[in-house]
Every structure is written in C-alpha cells, then in structure tokens.
C-alpha cells in the first residue's frame, strides 16, 4: 500500500488504481497523513527547481563554447601527446614481442601466468592511451577565474 | 515536460541537434543556452556548491559536444544531456575528498551564503534557514545515487519514464531505486531527529 501511495503521489498510477486510492482516502486518516507527510518532506528537502538564481545562460554558453574552441585548437596542434605516445608504445611492443618469443620456447606450464602478465601489461597500455586522449585543460582555469571575476 | 519545445521561439530542437551534429557551433550554443538553466539546477542540487555546479555543468556540455556526432536521437537531447550531467556530478562527488564533504556537514546554521537551497516558502525566516540547514545535512548523508534519483523526481519533476531514460534503466528499476532512496531518506531523517532532539 505504501509503495502505491508513493506512486499515487508521483502521478504514476493507472486510472483504475488511482481511483481506488481516491475512494479509499476519505475514510483513512493514516493514508492521508502518509501522503501529506511525504509531500511536506519532499518540499523541505527538494524544493521545486526554480530558474536558478543568478544563472546567466548567455554567459554560461559563451564559457562552454570558449572551452570547446580551446580544446579543438589543442587537438589541431598535438604537441604533447606525440612524444609520450611513441615513448610508451615502443617498449610495450618490444615487451609483447619478447614475451611471444618466450612463449614459443616455454612448455605449456608457463603459458598461463605469462598470458596473465601480457594481459595486465596490455591493460596498463590501454590506460595510457586513454589518458592521452584526455583533452588538455590548460586555459580552463583562466576561463573560470575570469568568470568569477566577472561576478 | 522533458521534450523541450521551442521556448521563446527559435529553430526546433531536432534541427539544432542535427546541425550541431554536423559541427555547427552556433546551433550547439543555442542548445546550451536552452538547456543549461535546468542542467545547472540539477548540478546545483547534487553538488550544493556554486563553483562545483558550474564546473560539472560545463563539463557535461563540453563532453556532449565531443560525442554529439554519435547522438542519433534515440532519446531526446534533454534526456541525453541530463544523463551526461548526472555522470559529471558523480565524478565531481567522487573527486571531492571526504574531508570536504564533512566540512559541509558541519556548516553552522545561518552560514547559508554558499548554499544553493532555493527559498522554501515559510513565513518565519529563521525557521526556514534552520530547516534548510538540517535538510542539507541530511541530504549530505544520502548516497549520490539516491540523492540523484530523488532530485530528478522531487525537485526536477521528471516522471518515471524520463528518469529511466536519464539513468539508462527500466521503469521498474526506477520504481525500485526510488523506493530504496525514500526509505534511506526516512531513516536518515529519523536518526537526525532522534539525535538533534528535533
Ligand atoms: Zn489507508
């Protein structure tokens, strides 16, 4: 019943169930209290979201577009990622090649742990790649402090 | 309500989305202007600090731009951007250290300058501040996921179907999570009243 009351308050009940509860409420102070209490708590904890005070959509959109422009400019001049990419990738490749060579020489007993080792190395490598795809954040702080100063 | 029409005129939503997906920044800027007040309001309810809310909302729109080419309108742009914003809020909360979280909890009554609580309509101002402060303390103890679903339902007024799209789950899952979140809120409320002698 309690769950139904919540769904009733949320306006999510089918017509039949809704009218069932509507018919029940006048004769049941307990359920009425339950609904009223939940309504009061919701209002206290989650006041209906009004247009946020002091929020300027125009300025906000300018900040977002400036960040986007900055990010895309950085992407056109990939100065930072170029070097670490090669530096990280070459040893990783070398390791995999060496491991494969060992694999051929080792008996089946050593293979499992070696496979696990390679997998973990590859996972480490993938994390490095993810990190490099992150956009550079330089300049974002400047935008932010400029935004704060405007206030 | 989530299917934003064309408030204040301007091109229809779908057209702006298509143009933005083609790389049209003007179109995207229009989408940002249209949706940012509610996205910011969601972030503000979740994070309760102006700067964090600004950051998370900006982060969400920058991220959305990066992948708008892949957005194929299976859901509305609004639901999609709310989902990205909700994730940005989760990331922000995760980054926020426990110490900082506790600093909010111990904020003294009346210290409301940085609080983002919209004013509750009570005639007695001091009661309002105390209520809002207690409410902030209790909400701070809810898990982020519970807080999020309660904000989406109670403050933002989304229906179950819309919440399901935002959280990328079924309507039944929404019902279950909402039930658990409400139960958790009731428990915190009871503990709080018992301890503070309210
Ligand atoms: Zn009853």
Q: What is the pLDDT of residues A58-106, one digit of tens each?
A: 999 999 999 999 988 888 775 555 555 555 555 555 655 655 555 544 4
**What CATH fold (topology level) applies to the domain B126-198?**
Arc Repressor Mutant, subunit A (1.10.10)
The whole-model pTM stands at: 0.66
pLDDT in tens, B70-110: 887 767 899 999 999 999 999 998 887 555 555 655 554 44
**Pairwise CB contact (< 8 Å): B62 & A67:** yes
Task: For residue B174, report the distance from its CA to the centre of ligand 1, in Å.
Answer: 24
Residues of B in contact with A68 (CB under 8 A): 25, 28, 62, 65
pLDDT at A68: 96
Nearest by CB to A46, which of B40, B51, B151? Answer: B151
Residues of A in contact with B179 (CB under 8 A): 3, 6
Q: What CATH architecture is B9-107?
A: Orthogonal Bundle (1.10)
Distances B123 to A38, B42, B50, B116, B127 between C-alpha atoms, Å: 21, 26, 26, 19, 8
**Pairwise CB contact (< 8 Å): B62 & A71:** yes
**Spatial distance between the Cα atoms of B120 and B131, rounded to a whole number of angstroms:** 9
Give domain status of residue A38, yes or no: yes
What angle is formed at CA A50 by the lines to CA B38 and CA B142, rounded to 5 degrees?
Answer: 75
- Indicate the burial class of A74 (C-beta count within 10 angstroms; 0-12, 13-18, 19 or more): middle
The answer to whether B18 contacts chain A (CB < 8 Å) is no
With CA atoms as reference, the chain B residue closest to A63 would be B58
C-beta neighbour count of A43 within 10 angstroms: 15
- Altogether, the residues listed in chain B come to a count of 198
Hey, is B170 helix, strand or coil? coil
- Altogether, the residues listed in chain A come to a count of 151
Give domain status of residue A112, yes or no: yes
A19 torsion bin: left (phi>0), alpha (psi -120 to 50), beta (else) = alpha
Domain boundaries of chain B, sorted by first residue: 9-107, 126-198
A100-104, B49-53, B116-120 — most confident range: B49-53
Task: State the ipTM, two decimals.
Answer: 0.76
Q: How many CB pairs under 8 A join A and B?
A: 105
Helical packing angle, B125-140 and A29-45, nearest 10°: 90
**Spatial distance between the Cα atoms of B104 and B140, rounded to a whole number of angstroms:** 8
């Amino acid at each position: 019943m309690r769950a139904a009351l919540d769904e009733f308050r949320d306006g999510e009940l089918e017509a039949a169930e809704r009218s069932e509860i509507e018919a029940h409420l006048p004769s049941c102070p307990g359920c009425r209290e339950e609904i009223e209490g939940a309504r009061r708590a919701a209002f206290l904890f989650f006041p209906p979201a009004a247009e946020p005070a002091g929020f300027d959509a125009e300025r906000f959109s300018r900040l977002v577009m400036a960040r986007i422009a900055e990010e895309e400019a950085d992407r056109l001049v990939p100065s930072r990622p170029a070097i670490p990419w090669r530096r990280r990738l070459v040893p990783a490749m070398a390791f995999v090649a060496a491991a494969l060579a060992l694999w051929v020489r080792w008996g089946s007993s050593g293979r499992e742990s070696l496979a696990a080792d390679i997998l973990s190395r590859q996972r480490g490598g993938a994390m490095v790649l993810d990190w490099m795809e992150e956009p550079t954040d330089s300049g974002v702080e400047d935008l932010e402090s400029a935004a704060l100063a405007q206030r | 309500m989530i299917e934003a029409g064309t408030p204040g005129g301007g091109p229809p939503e779908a057209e702006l989305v298509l143009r933005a997906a083609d790389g049209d920044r003007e179109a995207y800027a229009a989408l940002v202007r249209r949706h940012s007040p509610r996205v910011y309001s969601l972030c503000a309810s979740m994070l309760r600090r102006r700067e964090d809310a600004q950051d998370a909302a900006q982060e969400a729109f920058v991220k959305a731009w990066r992948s708008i080419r892949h957005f194929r309108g299976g859901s509305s742009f609004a639901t999609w951007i709310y989902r990205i914003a909700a994730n940005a809020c989760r990331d922000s909360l995760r980054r926020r250290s426990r110490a900082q979280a506790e600093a909010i909890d111990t904020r003294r009554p009346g210290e409301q300058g940085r609080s983002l609580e919209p004013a509750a309509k009570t005639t007695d101002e001091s009661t309002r501040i105390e209520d809002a402060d207690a409410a902030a303390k209790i909400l701070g103890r809810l898990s982020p996921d519970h807080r999020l679903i309660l904000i989406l339902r109670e403050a933002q007024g989304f229906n179950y179907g819309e919440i399901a799209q935002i959280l990328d789950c079924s309507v039944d899952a929404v019902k279950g999570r909402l039930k658990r979140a409400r139960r958790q809120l009731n428990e915190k409320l009871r503990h709080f009243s018992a301890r503070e002698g309210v």
